[in-house]
Amino acid sequence: MIFTRSTLMVLLLTVTFGVSFALLSPIFTDAQLEQKTFVTHSGRVIETSGEVLDPVYTVSTVDFDPDEFLRNFEYGRISISDNGQTIRDYTIIAEDDKVQEISPGVFFNVWTFNGTVPGPTIRATEGDLVRIHFINNGSKSHTMHFHGIHPAEMDGVFEIVGGNGGQFTYEFEAGPVGVHPYHCHVMPLEEHIVHGLYGVFIVDPKEGRPPADELVMVLNGFDTDFDTENNFYAANTIPFYYQHHPIQINTDQLIRIYVVNMVEFDPINNFHLHGNLYQYYPTGTDLVPSFYTDMITLSQTERGIMEFQYDYPGKYLFHAHKVEFSEKGWVGLFLVKDNSTSEAYYGN
């Protein structure tokens, strides 16, 4: 009897200590022997036997391609009306069930116009008839609200478009000249915007602007843990993307950036350019620049056009000088090539 009792006790103690020990000792599974490397902010090279967690400098790609978005303009299906007016037809489909990688390894439920955040850049000339065939394939109600001049019933506020195939056609004359945002305007508005239902609407002056390498930058952010503070910031959605994929431009070439600030939660955003200053046209409504600066401050949906050219080749940073934003992704590089050795690129 004593024997069984002590055996039981020993067994009990063994089990207890065994379980504790198993929990105590970290479990190392499939230790990889191959060394990987990454660089730090100060350029040091670090080796690791594990995995690299680096959205900042390590080249990586996700579903959405900011390079493609950067120089992509949607001019619509063009037709001419009887009175000679250009008609531009667009089809925009809203969805709200996609889960996309918005930073390497980070998956977030984005609500999209035509499958991307931001939605397509809609571009027309002043006076064109813009016709948007809006289909809501989401599960919630959505609309499209354009900043600009249009009739009240085309404002996308009271004309709620129900989900699961609801439709609406927005029709208005493009104007005024400039760069404007469009976004969903269903309440709760903040929720619909921060999930990604926004895009850029460019209205060109009839006489056009001087030829330039034209870029679109939507300054945006994501609050992935829903604490009403952004976890990520970016120019064109993907944090740090243009840092490891520098935007290639040429010396002595006019660069024109249509910049729209869609960051929510934080009252301001800004745009600082290195090694240069730019002519700035607030909202792009005037053809004469208002400022010559390297720093503009943008409130919610505040936007404008920046024009500049580089004299010297090399790598130049551009970033939010609200450094918190740049250290969470809103930072990039221009790789300026010597114009004499490469072909000039002209957008538009």
Partner 1 sequence: METSEKTSRIKVVTSGIIPFVFVVLMVAYIFGPGADLLDLGVPLPELTIEKIAFEKSEIHVTVRNTGPLPVQVVMADVNDRIHPAAIEPDKFLNRYETALVRIPFEWNEAEPYTIGLTTDDGTRFERNIDAAAPALQMNFEFVVFFAIIGTYVGIIPVMIGLLWLPFIKKISKSKYHFFLALTVGLLLFLGIDSIEEAFDVSLENLGGSFNDVLLIATTVVLSFLGLYYVSEKLTGRADSLRISKPVVIGLMIAIGIGLHNFGEGLAIGAAVGLGSIAFSTFLIVGFALHNTTEGLAIAAPMSRGKLMIGKLITMGIIAGAPAIFGAWVGGFAFSPFSSVVFLSIGAGAIFQVIVIILKWIREEGDKNLSSAAVAAGFATGMFVMYATSILI
DSSP calls for 259-308 = EEE---SSS-EEEEETT--EEEEETT--SS-SEEESEEEE-TT-EEEEEE
For the beta carbon of residue 199, count every other beta carbon within 10 angstroms.
28
User: Residue 6 corresponds to which tokens in the numbers above?
Assistant: 């002590």
Among the listed ranges 25-33, 111-119, 204-212, 300-308, the one in contact with partner 1 (CB under 8 A) is 25-33
Residue of 186, 212, 209, 211 lying closest to 197 (CA atoms): 186
Q: Choose between 49 and 91: whose C-beta lies nearer to partner 1.
A: 49
Q: DSSP class of residue 310?
A: B
Within 8 A by CB and 6+ apart from 227, the residues are none
Minimum distance, C-beta of residue 291 to partner 1, in the bound complex (Å): 29
Among the listed ranges 16-24, 146-154, 188-196, 209-217, the one in contact with partner 1 (CB under 8 A) is 16-24
Considering the rule CB under 8 A, would residue 41 count as an interface residue with partner 1?
yes
Minimum distance, C-beta of residue 36 to partner 1, in the bound complex (Å): 7
Considering the rule CB under 8 A, would residue 266 count as an interface residue with partner 1?
no
Size of the site for partner 1 (CB under 8 A): 51
Q: Choose between 16 and 299: whose C-beta lies nearer to partner 1.
A: 16
Minimum distance, C-beta of residue 263 to partner 1, in the bound complex (Å): 16
Minimum distance, C-beta of residue 33 to partner 1, in the bound complex (Å): 10
Identified binder of partner 1 from the candidate list 72, 104, 159, 293, rule CB under 8 A: 104
Considering the rule CB under 8 A, would residue 327 count as an interface residue with partner 1?
yes
Identified binder of partner 1 from the candidate list 3, 4, 34, 42, rule CB under 8 A: 42
How far apart CA 48 and CA 259 sit, in angstroms, is: 39
Identified binder of partner 1 from the candidate list 7, 11, 18, 53, rule CB under 8 A: 53
How far apart CA 100 and CA 115 sit, in angstroms, is: 10
Omega before 176 within 30 of 0, i.e. cis = yes
For the beta carbon of residue 239, count every other beta carbon within 10 angstroms.
26
Considering the rule CB under 8 A, would residue 329 count as an interface residue with partner 1?
yes
User: Residue 170 corresponds to which tokens in the numbers above?
Assistant: 């927005």
Residues that bind partner 1 (CB under 8 A): 6, 9, 12-13, 16, 20, 23-24, 26-32, 36, 38-42, 44, 46, 48-58, 102-108, 222, 224-225, 231, 239-240, 324, 327-329
